[in-house]
Amino acid sequence: MVETEPHDSRFDDRGFLAVVAIVTLLFCWLIAPYFGAILWGLVAAILFEPATQRLATHLNGHTNFAAALVLLLIVGLILVPALLLGTSLVQEATALYERIRLGEIDVVGMLNGVRDALPSRVRQYIDAQDLSDFDSLRRMFGTGIADGLQSIASRALVVGQGALSFLAALGVMLYLTFFLLRDGRRYGAIIRSALPLRPDLRDRLIDHFVIVVRATMKGTVVVAVVQGVLGGFIFWALGIEGVLLWGTLMGFFSLLPAIGTGIVWVPVAIYLLATGAWVKGAVMIFCGFFIIGLVDNLLRPILVGRDTRMPDFVVLIATLAGLQLFGLSGFIVGPVIAALFIAVWSMAIERKDPELDLLPAAGKQESPALPSPSSRP
């Protein structure tokens, strides 16, 4: 009788985990080209899954029909306006760039007018600080504006050349969104069961992830849209050209804490005051501080609450880093990664000192989109 060596099940377990890790990495590498589409599909599902479930209840459990209706709502109220806005923005940027290139808008002359309007003491201070080479500064600033507008205008050609890729990504996002809206709870239960974590830690992390995504979208996108619309309307009322462009820029910069919309309207207000348009300049300053600026202070606490309170410097760094690494999707990815980083380390601290409860919101709230394994769709 041949003796066999004892079987080590731990070796098989480690080997299987290695296979799982390798296959998972390969799959992530495979779908990487559609990372943005998958991310936005997941975000849309997290935001609208509760509405889909409520609608399905009113439709006697017809989740397919409910998911299709919500998807049409997303397309009609979000995607179509976003595409129209992008098209109009490119057209306006192209027109402004052509006017600057043809000399119809003299950026250098405008800066010259600002300098001439400065008090003599200010001009003397500029000369004393070795900033007298104002001509080079004007040329550099004017060239920077022209290059920026040309970059935006060139997006029309890029979109035209990559139309097939864009349509494929859009199709992937909508297709994925439909299935996540319809079966999100079932997939959430599977994910919860598969994660190799203690149930309490696992549920807190997943709940915190969902809360952060929802809070980020509500607290950034809604505030950005409102500030951009208000800023564009104020610019239009004051007769400033490029309303759509400046409104979009204000909406974009509102995503960044400590920077905000002031990076757009403050220089415009200074220019108006320096060129003698005192009333328009005063109106711009008043509206900037008390209308555009207060939107963030009023809306963000209502929309976000205290679910994802992070230091402003963390949000700023995470958002800028996310935008640099992931493009437009980075304003979600960056804060979410930062919030999960804080959540993980908070849990680690709490394990050493159980009396600390640093994440009460994530620990006590259940996510309707990703319920526990005992839940049923």
Share above pLDDT 70 across residues of the chain, in percent, rounded to a whole number:
71
Cβ neighbours of 290 (radius 10 Å)? 9
Report if residue 270 sits inside a domain: yes
Report if residue 36 sits inside a domain: no
Question: Which residues span the domain enclosing 294?
Answer: 198-377
Report if residue 286 sits inside a domain: yes
Name the pTM for this structure. Answer: 0.72
371, pLDDT greater than 50:
no
Three-state secondary structure of the chain: CCCCCCCCHHHHHHHHHHHHHHHHHHHHHHHHHHHHHHHHHHHHHHHHHHHHHHHHHHCCCCHHHHHHHHHHHHHHHHHHHHHHHHHHHHHHHHHHHHHHHCCCCCHHHHHHHHHHHCCHHHHHHHHHCCCCCHHHHHHHHHHHHHHHHHHHHHHHHHHHHCHHHHHHHHHHHHHHHHHHHHHHHHHHHHHHHHCCCCHHHHHHHHHHHHHHHHHHHHHHHHHHHHHHHHHHHHHHHCCCCCHHHHHHHHHHHCCCCCCCCHHHHHHHHHHHHHCCCHHHHHHHHHHHHHHHHHHHHHHHHHHHCCCCCCCHHHHHHHHHHHHHHHHHHHHHHHHHHHHHHHHHHHHHHHHHCCCCCCCHHHHHCCCCCCCCCCCCC
Query: What's the pLDDT tens digit per position in 268-327?
Result: 888 888 777 889 889 999 998 888 888 877 877 776 655 556 777 888 888 888 888 888
Between 205 and 174, the more confident residue is: 174
**In 3D, which of 268, 270, 275 has the Cα closest to residue 240?**
268
Report if residue 76 sits inside a domain: no
Overall number of domains in the chain = 1
Judged by average pLDDT, the poorest of 18-27, 109-118, 245-254 is 109-118
Query: What's the pLDDT tens digit per position in 147-165?
Result: 555 555 555 555 555 567 7
Report if residue 143 sits inside a domain: no
Residues 6+ apart with CB under 8 A from 94: 149, 152, 153, 156
Report if residue 116 sits inside a domain: no
Between 204 and 126, the more confident residue is: 204
Report if residue 301 sits inside a domain: yes
pLDDT band at 252 (very low <50, low <70, confident <90, very high): confident
Query: What's the pLDDT tens digit per position in 191-234?
Result: 888 887 888 888 888 888 888 888 878 778 888 889 999 999 99
71, pLDDT greater than 90:
yes
Q: What is the pLDDT of residue 134?
A: 47
Mean pLDDT over 326-330 rounds to 82
Report if residue 310 sits inside a domain: yes
